[in-house]
Amino acid sequence: MASLVAPTYRAICSDSSAKQRASDAMDVDTDENSAIVFVSSRRQCRVVAGDLLTCAAADGVPSRFLRADSAQIEQNVQNVSDRALREFLVYGVGYLHDALSATDRQTVLDLFVSGSIQVLVASRESCWTLDAIRAHTVVIMGAERYHGREHRYTDYAIPDVLQMMGRASLSGSSGHAQCVLMCLGNKREFYKKFLYEPLPLESRLDSQLHDAMNSEVAAKTITSKQDAVDYLTWTLMYRRLVQNPNYYGLQGTSHEHLSDYLSELIESTLGDLAAAKCVTIDEDELDVTPTNLGLVSAYYQIRYLTVEMFSLSLSAKTKLRGVLDIVSAADEFESLPIRHRESSVLSRLANRVPVPLPGTDNEDTKWTSPRVRTHLLLQAHFSRLTLPADLAADQMWVLARVAPLLQAM
């Protein structure tokens, strides 16, 4: 990431200089040179913002990105709680990520929209919350993110890249906008293909069918296996099966192949739900009825695997500590973010909570376990411990999902 700072700085400055020359030629006074820089993580937001200001100071223009009176900016940022952010805003650079407080976030957005600051550094996740924000230069600093659970770097999803590019706006008198995508050389042709050619829209219903099917059975929309097959014929997946059979693992595009695929998919899905005791299939294996577990899963909108785990783990003798262990193992928390080099912070935090954390088979991967991290964040909430910004955002994410799980118990 450090090697991309200089090209990013040049991209912002060159676009700003080009606009200034065009403005002078047309005798138009315009400040349409705003820039958004997308980075892979929340931590990188602060690092990159500081590095851009370092480059500006090295050029002898520390306030290059400031577009308003410094006294006015200082007055506007007095209520910003993040000290580093407050210092950066005075020089015309702000950063934005999910861990910022609502007040700090709104202050940064107001200053950027008004044109008081030129550069906004945003985390990858923030691209979906910036719908009303536009800039004339968008820089995507690297197209990879660290996947903590797999311990490797993975490419950005194509929809994320397209959403970031969409922040570049052509509005204004200059009629000019640009997006700079920085990626590995061997990925250049890959991104050219998907950015310049139509991108097919495919369904992921086959990987999420269990919970959807359970909800329809609970609502009595599906009462038999034939109803389940008919239900699938009204979905996007059914339309795309024939158009892109290889994507879905379809052996052929004939009517027989399609019928066999749907029948097998329904059989395996309902079989898994029956094994989890969320539905029952009668003796003739045609009619399907919901069970209490299936109704609970559908009502509280929790995954069928979680309800199955609750039914096997909970008993009348389960104590509070056991409830904490069980709810932390819920499948809903499998997507909890895992970040680089947080083990030391989590280890110190674990020494301050009252209940020991659940053990894992491998202590080296302890802090990459969603169950352990969820257990720790819940205890930190109960103990009212102060957390770093990233972990505080993770804690809010966990708390928003734990309430329906406790109600379902």
What average pLDDT values come out for the chain (409 residues) when binned by 10 residues?
A: 77 62 41 78 83 86 82 80 84 83 84 85 82 81 73 77 77 65 81 76 87 92 90 90 86 86 90 90 83 91 91 87 89 82 82 81 70 90 86 88 89
The predicted pLDDT at position 148 comes to 64
Spatial contact of 189 and 148, defined as CB atoms under 8 Å apart: no
The predicted pLDDT at position 68 comes to 79
Tokens linked to 266: 């329904």
Spatial separation of the C-alpha atoms in residues 349 and 379, rounded to whole Å: 10
The predicted pLDDT at position 303 comes to 92
The H or E element that residue 181 is part of is strand 178-182
The predicted pLDDT at position 171 comes to 53
**Full 3-state SS string of the chain:** CHHHHHHHHHHHHHHHHHHHHHHHHHCCCCCCCCEEEEECCHHHHHHHHHHHHHHHHHCCCCCCCECCCHHHHHHHCCCCCCHHHHHHHCCCEEEECCCCCHHHHHHHHHHHHHCCECEEEEEHHHHHHCCCCCECEEEEECCEEEECCCCEEEECCHHHHHHHHCCECCCCCCCCCEEEEECCHHHHHHHHHHHHCCCCCCCCHHHCHHHHHHHHHHCCCCCEHHHHHHHHCCCHHHHHHHHCHHHHCCCCCCHHHHHHHHHHHHHHHHHHHHHCCCEEECCCCCEEEECHHHHHHHHHCCCHHHHHHHHHHCCCCCCHHHHHHHHHCCHHHHHCCCCCCCHHHHHHHHCCCCCCCCCCCCHHHHHHCHHHHHHHHHHHHHCCCCCCHHHHHHHHHHHHHHHHHHHHC
Spatial contact of 248 and 240, defined as CB atoms under 8 Å apart: yes
CA-closest candidate to residue 134, choices 156, 105, 113: 113
The predicted pLDDT at position 24 comes to 44
The predicted pLDDT at position 363 comes to 59
